[in-house]
């Protein structure tokens, strides 16, 4: 297998990260709230203060990166994974039913396609449990250098779940379950759940499932 070099920048990775790797959404929501809290001195918003306290408790915020595994891929594999995702996304956006199954290797190929995530995330899947190891500078989220979000995130589903309203009790960061009321925490006078579903279309009918070592995303269409 050839070593990965520098693939062309993808056009749909942002939608992939939002629509498929829901764990990344939760991680970034928490990390962003924390970094904003550090930057502004823990003022005003409950999501900022609570995220800072919770992430500090779990050891997710440190002043040094954590080592994570590196995936072995190639330009050809990355392009194949991107093409599969683009075709799926196009079908969803036309309002037609669609389904895609992604192995851990394919998810890692998609992660490797974007400079913002390459070598900062690694995904593995065993049965119905997905594990994501993340080490990301918070400065890339909120312009604050010197801090890192280091998360060992696990998601385990017993069946299909809403893509935009996943059960928080199925997600852990550094072996700690997400607070059950996390989506009610406020940021700029709005609960976090508003930000999660604000741009849900066309994903509001989509479900996510982890089964048989695959991540499965389905959309019923309009």
**How big is the chain, counted in residues?**
222
pLDDT of residue 109: 92
pLDDT for 181-214, tens place per residue?
877 888 777 787 777 667 667 777 888 899 999 9
Residue 66 predicted with pLDDT over 60: yes
pLDDT for 101-149, tens place per residue?
999 999 999 888 888 788 888 999 999 999 999 898 876 555 556 788 8
Query: Cα dihedral angle (178, 183, 184, 189), rounded to 10 degrees?
Result: 130
- Phi, psi of 210, rounded to the nearest 5 degrees: -115, 115
DSSP letter, residue 116? T
The half-sphere exposure of 26 on its side-chain side, counting CA atoms within 13 A, is: 28
Question: 136 - beta bridge partners?
Answer: 149
pLDDT of residue 129: 93
Q: Where are the alpha helices (DSSP H) in the chain?
A: 13-19, 22-40, 46-58, 75-93, 104-112, 139-142, 192-197
pLDDT of residue 69: 94
Give the Cβ contact number of residue 9 at 10 Å.
10
């Amino acid at each position: 297998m050839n070593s990965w070099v520098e693939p062309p920048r993808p056009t749909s990775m942002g939608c992939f990260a939002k629509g498929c790797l829901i764990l990344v959404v939760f991680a970034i929501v928490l990390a962003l709230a924390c970094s904003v809290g550090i930057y502004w001195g823990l003022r005003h918003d409950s999501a900022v203060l609570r995220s800072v306290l919770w992430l500090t408790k779990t050891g997710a915020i440190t002043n040094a990166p954590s080592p994570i595994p590196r995936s072995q891929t190639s330009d050809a594999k990355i392009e194949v994974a991107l093409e599969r995702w683009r075709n799926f996304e196009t079908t969803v956006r036309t309002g037609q039913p669609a389904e895609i199954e992604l192995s851990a290797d394919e998810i890692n190929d998609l992660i490797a396609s974007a400079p913002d995530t390459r070598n900062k995330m690694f995904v593995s899947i065993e049965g119905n449990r997905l594990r994501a190891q993340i080490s990301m500078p918070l400065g890339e989220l909120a312009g604050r250098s010197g801090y890192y979000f280091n998360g060992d995130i696990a998601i385990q589903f017993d069946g299909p779940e809403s893509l935009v309203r996943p059960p928080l009790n199925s997600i852990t960061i550094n072996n700690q379950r997400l607070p059950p009321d996390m989506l009610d925490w406020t940021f700029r006078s709005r609960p976090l759940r508003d930000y999660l579903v604000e741009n849900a279309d066309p994903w509001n009918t989509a479900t996510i499932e982890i089964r048989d070592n695959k991540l499965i995303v389905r959309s019923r269409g309009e």
